[in-house]
């Protein structure tokens, strides 16, 4: 199936993609930069956004040493528009640089977060790709949940895929606790009893010790049957995309993905969408050290082929 080179209509917001994971060192910025360049090579209009507000480095992966403007400038009203803090790159995508590493930079207030999310959704581009920080703070989870497509990255290391499961679990819990939030499509259906049941389940010792999501669904069926279907719909529609990075042996990927999917079905009552793996090669690591996106150096290489498969799956999802 060929990939389309057509762009969206001018002024029409495109697809927002969020790339997350519970820890650093799993290749998020490398993945975001190369995915952005790959899509730009297809003729797409792409904006990559560094939302690791406390330790931004995406600009380096895009070959940009110094930033004139950062997200901080928009959040503090030094620059009036999200468009005013964009930096062009020589590899195709436009860049929005992250915070400057000031104390407390990652802890933006809720109102500023909503302002930033609304602004990101107005960007005139085919794809807006968010590079998230390596943690599970509310801000990171909310950026992830706001995207049209969310990717959770993991390596084949046991600690890494346990962290990936932890990120998925925390994102689902955040989605449930914000079910009736001001930013939610379900805000008008707000029910305090349902909110209380959800909060009791998520913040109880039972939840942290491995209580299954089925137990919450059963309680809702008994105590709040009018909202039972709504929560079931949320669980059915919550389908995080997984991408395995730094792959050396393809056989490892199948086993890892199967394990992640099984535990997610059993404990969280959700299914995952697996988008594939991206290889580990010396060439990719050298490109990262040289601050050049690998697909810019090797547009027909194995990394580019892996990204092509991921994009094809994403367009069909």
Reported confidence tier of residue 1, pLDDT bands at 50, 70, 90: very low
pLDDT at 235 over 90: yes
Question: Any idea which residue has 């690998």 for tokens?
Answer: 294
Going by pLDDT thresholds of 50, 70 and 90, the confidence category of residue 101 is low
Please report whether residue 25 resides in a domain: yes
* Assigned domain for 2 exists: no
The residue among 76 and 53 whose pLDDT is bigger is 76
| pLDDT tens figures, 242-260 | 999 999 888 788 889 999 9
Q: Would 24 be classed as within a structural domain? A: yes
Q: How confident is the model at residue 82 (pLDDT cuts 50, 70, 90)?
A: very high
- DSSP structure string for 129-194: EEEE-SS--HHHHHHHHHSSEEEEEE-SSHHHHHHHHHHHHHHHHHHHHTTTSTTSTTGGG--HHH
Residue 235 or 103, more confident: 235
For residue 311, how far is the Cα from the chain centroid? 15
Say if 77 falls within a structural domain: yes
- Summarize pLDDT for 107-122 with one digit per residue, the tens: 788 889 999 999 999 9
Kind and range of the H or E element at 54? none
What pLDDT does 262 receive? 96
Range of the domain at 152: 15-160+242-258+272-316
Predicted confidence band of residue 133 (pLDDT cuts 50, 70, 90): confident
**Angle (deg, nearest 10), helices 302-316 and 28-41:** 80
Q: Is residue 130 part of a domain?
A: yes
pLDDT in tens, 171-226: 999 999 999 988 888 888 899 999 999 999 998 855 555 679 999 999 999 999 98
Given this model, what pLDDT does residue 100 score?
A: 65
For residue 85, what are its two tokens?
């803090």
User: Domain of 135: which CATH number?
Assistant: 3.40.50.300
Helix H or strand E segment including 49: strand 46-51
pLDDT in tens, 134-175: 888 999 999 999 999 999 999 999 899 999 999 999 999 999
Which percentage of the chain shows pLDDT scores above 70? 91
| Residue 284 confidence (pLDDT) | 85
DSSP assignment string, 148-161: SEEEEEE-SSHHHH
pLDDT mean over 284-310: 92
Beta strands 86-88; 94-96: pairing state: antiparallel
Question: Quick one: how far is CA 226 from the chain centroid?
Answer: 31
Structure confidence by residue, pLDDT tens digits, 12-31: 568 999 999 977 788 999 99
pLDDT surpasses 70 at 5? no
194 domain residue, yes or no: no
Q: Maximum distance among all alpha carbons in the chain? A: 59
Mean pLDDT over residues 66-72, rounded? 90
Q: Is residue 156 part of a domain?
A: yes
In this prediction, residue 237 carries a pLDDT of 95
**The token pair that represents 80 in the structure block:** 């009036």
Count of domains forming the chain:
1
36 within domain boundaries: yes
């Amino acid at each position: 199936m060929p990939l389309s080179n057509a762009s969206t209509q001018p002024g029409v917001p495109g697809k927002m993609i969020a790339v997350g994971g519970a820890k650093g060192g799993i290749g998020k910025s490398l993945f975001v930069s190369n995915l952005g360049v790959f899509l730009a090579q297809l003729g797409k209009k792409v904006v990559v956004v560094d939302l690791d507000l406390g330790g931004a480095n995406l600009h380096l992966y895009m070959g940009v040493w110094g930033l004139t403007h950062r997200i901080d400038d928009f959040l503090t009203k030094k620059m009036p528009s999200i468009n005013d803090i964009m930096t062009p790159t020589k590899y195709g995508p436009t860049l929005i640089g992250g915070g400057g590493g000031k104390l407390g930079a990652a802890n933006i207030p809720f109102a500023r977060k909503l302002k930033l999310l609304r602004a990101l959704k107005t960007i005139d581009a085919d794809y807006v790709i968010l590079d998230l920080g390596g943690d599970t703070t509310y801000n990171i989870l909310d950026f992830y949940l706001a995207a049209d497509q969310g990717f959770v990255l993991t390596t084949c290391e046991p600690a890494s895929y346990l962290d990936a499961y932890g990120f998925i679990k925390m994102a689902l819990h955040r989605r449930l606790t914000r079910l009736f939030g001001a930013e939610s499509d379900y805000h008008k259906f707000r029910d305090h009893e349902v909110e209380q049941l959800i909060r009791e389940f998520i913040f109880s010792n039972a939840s942290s010790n491995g209580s299954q999501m089925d137990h919450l669904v059963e309680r809702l069926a008994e105590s709040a049957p009018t909202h039972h279907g709504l929560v079931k719909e949320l669980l059915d529609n919550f389908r995080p995309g997984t991408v395995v990075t730094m792959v050396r042996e393809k056989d490892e990927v199948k086993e890892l993905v199967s394990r992640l999917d099984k535990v997610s079905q059993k404990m969280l009552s959700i299914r995952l969408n697996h988008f594939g793996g991206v290889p580990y090669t010396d060439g990719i690591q050298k490109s990262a050290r040289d601050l050049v996106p690998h697909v810019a150096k090797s547009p027909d290489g194995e990394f580019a082929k892996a990204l092509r498969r991921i994009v094809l799956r994403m367009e069909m999802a």
